[in-house]
Amino acid sequence: MTDWIRSQQGRGGAAELGPLQLAWLGDAVWELHQRLRHCRHPGRSDDLHRAVVAEVKADAQASVLDTLDPFLSDQERDLVRRGRNRAGRGPRRGEGSVYGRATGFETMVGWLFLQNPARLAELLDRLEETENDLS
């Protein structure tokens, strides 16, 4: 499911972007990844939309980060930290720490998409393997 990421060539340019810009990009990459995963399942568009929304909200992203943490390099953890520290408080109803971890995850995804798409695909494949092991 990560072939679309693997086919990307690292574009560079992540050094010119701040953590929040990388998080914005990472959010889009993560949502596209989830949409591609879910579009292969038959269903009504509103059901597919709800399934994707459940995967891209902050608490789901924070959970994904927790799952991937043992596989992250020190550089990737540093990207997560930078994003988390720039996240702010988050939405009024949400928990700030969850929002911060989700923003850190998005920052890492955005950076990897630009700099090392093969590594991003590797991490997402690892996530798929972990989910399959739990089912």
pLDDT in tens, 57-78: 999 999 999 999 999 999 999 9
Residue 13, CA distances (Å) to 22, 58, 112, 115 in order:
10, 26, 11, 8
Question: For the whole model, what pTM was predicted?
Answer: 0.86
How far is C-alpha 106 from the geometric centre of its chain's CA atoms? 5
Q: Is residue 36 part of a domain?
A: yes
Tell me, what CATH number does 110's domain have? 1.10.1520.10
Backbone dihedral region of 88: left (phi > 0), alpha (psi from -120 to 50 degrees) or beta?
Answer: left
Q: Is residue 46 part of a domain?
A: yes
Q: Is residue 2 part of a domain?
A: no
- Name the residue with tokens 């059901």: 47
Q: Which residues are catalytic?
A: 27
Q: Is residue 1 part of a domain?
A: no
HEC sequence for 88-121: CCCCCCCCHHHHHHHHHHHHHHHHHHHHCHHHHH
CA-angle at 7, arms to 45 and 30, nearest 5°: 40
pLDDT in tens, the chain (135 residues): 667 777 777 777 788 899 999 999 999 999 999 988 888 878 788 888 888 888 889 999 999 999 999 999 999 999 999 999 887 766 666 677 888 999 999 999 999 999 999 999 999 999 888 776 655
The radius of gyration of the chain's CA atoms, rounded to the nearest angstrom, is 14
The residue range of the domain holding 58 is 14-134
Give the pLDDT confidence score for residue 108 in this predicted structure: 97
Supply 2's token pair.
Answer: 């990560």
Give the pLDDT confidence score for residue 93 in this predicted structure: 65
